Amino acid sequence: MALYSEKVMDHFTNPRNVGVIEDADGVGEVGNAKCGDIMKIYLKISDDIITDVKFETFGCGSAIASSSMATEMIKGKALSEALQLSNKAVAEALDGLPAHKMHCSVLAEEAIKAAVKDYYDKNGIEYDKCQFADCSGCAHCHEE
Ligand code: FES
């Protein structure tokens, strides 16, 4: 079997939703300290629905394919749905990623969450901190 699925190759060579939204309602930027890759997600939000999404990814092919697929998966969706998107679901939608490349899909999940959080913060919207990575580790979300 080839290392990368056709879908990964497709989204890598022809990524969807690349770019910047100048007047974005939420922006999320995350990086992976180990590989140095950076991903930035821009969201346009209206009535809790993601009406537009763009990304910039300075990273490996798997990170680019993951951002492309993840943006396709959240476009037109409610914020609550976007927050449910897991890196596993992104990797599955790409017909899989090699095990040592799974962390690349994590960037996509984290960048989307960071962008939604940015929107909540900017608009003073209350939210459950446990949904986000910077939750400081309350017992609630860290119990197995
Ligand atoms: Fe860094 Fe893929 S190697 S995100």
104 is catalytic: yes
130 is catalytic: no
* Spatial separation of the C-alpha atoms in residues 82 and 22, rounded to whole Å: 21
Quick: pLDDT tens for 56-93: 999 999 999 999 999 999 999 999 999 999 999 999 99
- CA end-to-end span of the chain, whole Å? 35
Bridge partners (DSSP) of residue 45 are: 50
Quick: pLDDT tens for 6-16: 999 999 999 99
Mutate to test the pocket of ligand 1, among 60, 66, 68, 110 (most ligand atoms within 8 A of CB): 60
pTM of the model: 0.91
Q: 87 is written with which tokens?
A: 């890196």
Mutate to test the pocket of ligand 1, among 62, 100, 102 (most ligand atoms within 8 A of CB): 62
Please answer whether residues 69 and 41 qualify as being in contact, where contact means their C-beta atoms are separated by less than 8 angstroms. Answer: no
- Residue 60 CB–ligand 1 contact under 6 Å: yes
